[in-house]
Amino acid sequence: MIEEKEINSFLSGSVVPENIFTPEDFSEEHKMIADMTEKFVLNEVMPALEKIENQEFDETVRLIKEAGELGLIGADIPELDGGLDLGKVCGAIISEKMAISRSFSITFGGQTGIGALPIAYFGSENQKDKYLPFLLTGEKIAAYALTEPSAGTDAMGLKTTAKLSDDGKYYVINGEKQWITNSAFADIFIVYAKIDNDKITTFIVEKEYEGLSTGPEEKKMGLKGSSTRSLILENVKVPVENVIGEIGRGHIIAFNVLNIGRFKISSTALGTSKRSIELATKYANDRKQFHKSISSFNLIKQKIADMTIQTFANESSVYRTAGAMQKGFEEMKANGTGYSETIAGYAVECSMNKVMSSETLDFVIDEAVQIHGGYGYMGEYEVETLYRDSRINRIFEGTNEINRIIIASTLLKNYVKQNHSIYPENGPLQHEKQTLRLLKDYYHVAIQAIHQASIDNMNEEQECAAFLANLAISIYTSESAILRAEKAINQSGEEQNGQKLDCAKVFIHETAQRSAIVGLNLLNHLNDHEEFSHAAGRLIASSKENLVETKRRIADRVIAAERYIV
């Protein structure tokens, strides 16, 4: 199965650089898509951004249509369904490049991800024929209606009901959905409701249906230019042919679509991290204190280096996952397997990327504000807006807390005993590979300690769940960074890839040390497991590198370029 293959690959064995996708592997088509998206954002969206942020939604609707005409909405939708079928890597690139459009990127993401995908992946042929052509061109806009006032993280607890009419021709839906993105101008709502009080089912609900209305715009901390309203359904009659998939299996559709949504968030967060670094370095070069640029101060350099290192590891992880998912979807087409099985196989990776990317962004933008000093607190500076906008990423598409529990529960359920990771005992990353191997050993010892302490119910033992999830994220991201650097060095030499090499080295050592310290704080809860304690101790050992000088080198390169560069 795909799930076992993916989990085994980064936790229970070795992976060679040639088997992962990296940004250095972008094809000419990838670069063309990146360039086209960037030009669309800079030339079309940014001039209208002030109007968008003031909720002049006519501008948003106009630009969604323009994005559709360029093919950006249907880029990773199957060709048979009217899309361009360019793959998940292109989808990630588009989401990343769309990030600097701020609120518009949320509208766009709602359309291309959780809005269109339920129909594209799980809809009938008639539903696809009726709705997809208009969604992919942007002529109609979709919204995803799952969350309710009493059902957020607990999506299974939704109270919206759907009752079959006496003549069997339609369902009558009643309920209220909360915080629905795109709701002010959506033409189609993907609504989740319970039939017979327990069968969660997915419906396509058109805005013209009698009894459907929306509440006023929510007053939000950030992303003020996106539409967020309640959706009210009062005896809304929905034709039976508008049921997506099987009755009672709507939660399967919801969770799989959310997996893709989580991955798209990670790509968008990555793009915003890069933008934050650009703003911070330009400001640091321009800002003079004590008769010199603040970018020359070593504590500012340390911040810029840390921002860059975290973003490099995040980027490595995002595109490794994009490449793996693209391969999985290609295998799905060849083997005839379904979307549910394929997407579920990457649930852990999607959740890991969502957690890693959203928390990396919050760290990066926080440091960007700090570098700006008092000016970073002022509304006329872009970093102030990015700071407010970024905070929601750790909440929507499943809070990072629930994603950590999903990760840990899935890993325990599918646990495979360790095959010793074997990495070549040479090369510029030799010591880092040894540390990675120790980190994997630590993970497997942690699993044993959790089992032996009989605390393997991750819904109850949430502290252990968070630790295990963080450890898995650390391993996946560290390995992605190391393999990316090694692959680049193999292809074009160490001299040309010094920045990647430096970033990979610092990231693995600091990550390993943090993981060890957090684990030691759980030691007594794990009944003072001796092997676990020893494994943590091995990770705390200092790096052989001078990490202070390494970070200064990283920062100097970024400061000179005034943008994220690896």
The residue among 205, 244, 206 whose CA lies nearest residue 121 is 244
Query: What is the DSSP track for 533-550?
Result: HHHHHHHHSPPSS-HHHH
503 neighbors 551 (Cβ within 8 angstroms) = no
Decide: 478 and 313 in contact? Cβ < 8 Å: yes
For tokens 């008769």, name the residue: 291
Q: Which of 220, 188, 191 is nearest to 206 (CA)?
A: 188
Using a 10 angstrom Cβ sphere, with 0-12 exposed, 13-18 middle and 19 or more buried, the burial of residue 379 is exposed
Distance CA 487, CA 532 (A): 32
What DSSP line would sit under 419-458, residue for residue?
PPP---S-STTHHHHHHHHHHHHHHHHHHHHHHHTT---T
Bridge partners (DSSP) listed for residue 164: 171
The two structure tokens encoding residue 125: 């042929």
Q: Which ranges constitute the DSSP H helices of 99-230?
A: 103-110, 117-122, 125-137
| Contact predicate 527/520, CB 8 Å | no
| Set 397, 461, 479, 486: catalytic member | 397
Cα(440)–Cα(475) distance, rounded to whole angstroms? Answer: 7
- Partners of 237 in the β-ladder: 172
* Cα separation, 217 vs 416, whole angstroms: 48
With contact defined as beta carbons under 8 Å apart, do 14 and 422 qualify?
A: yes
Distance, in Å, from the CA atom of 556 to the CA atom of 552, rounded to the nearest integer, reads 6
Is 364:311 a contact under the CB 8 Å cutoff?
yes
Strands 161-164 and 188-195, by their bridges, are: parallel
Task: Check if 4 is active-site.
Answer: no
Three-class SS of 71-91? CCCCCCCCHHHCCCCCCHHHH
- DSSP notation for 275-336: HHHHHHHHHHHH-EETTEEGGGSHHHHHHHHHHHHHHHHHHHHHHHHHHHHHHHHHHHHHHT
Cβ neighbors of 1 (< 8 A, separation 6 or more) are 341, 345
d(CA 177, CA 190): 11
Whose structure tokens read 């989808």? 91
Integer Cα distance of 404 and 352 in angstroms: 8
Residues catalogued as catalytic: 397
